[in-house]
Structure 1
Amino acid sequence: MAKTADILENFGQRVRSLRTAKGLSQEDFAHECQLDRTYMGGIERGERNVALRNIERIANALGISIAELMKGL
Structure 2
Amino acid sequence: MSPIVNRFPGVVRQLREARGWSQEELAERADLNRSYVGEIERGNAMPSLVTINKLASSFDLLPSFLLARCEQH
- TM-score in terms of structure 1 length: 0.85
The whole-number CA distance in structure 1 between the counterparts of 2:51 and 2:64 is 14
Structure 1 runs of 4+ aligned residues shifted over 6 Å read none
Q: Is 1:52 aligned to residue 62 of structure 2?
A: no
The whole-number CA distance in structure 2 between the counterparts of 1:18 and 1:65 is 13
Equivalent residues of 1:33, 1:57 under 8 A apart: yes
Across the aligned residues of Structure 1 and Structure 2, the Cα RMSD in angstroms comes to 1.7
Equivalences for 1:1-73 in 2 at 5 Å?
Answer: 7-71=4-68, 72-73=70-71
Unaligned 5+ runs, structure 1: none
Kindly tell me the number of residue pairs found equivalent between the two proteins: 70
Larger radius of gyration: 1
Unaligned 5+ runs, structure 2: none
Whose helix fraction is larger, Structure 1's or Structure 2's? Answer: 2
Once the two structures are aligned, what percentage of the paired residues are identical?
34
- TM-score in terms of structure 2 length: 0.85
Distance 1:68 1:18, change over 3 A: same
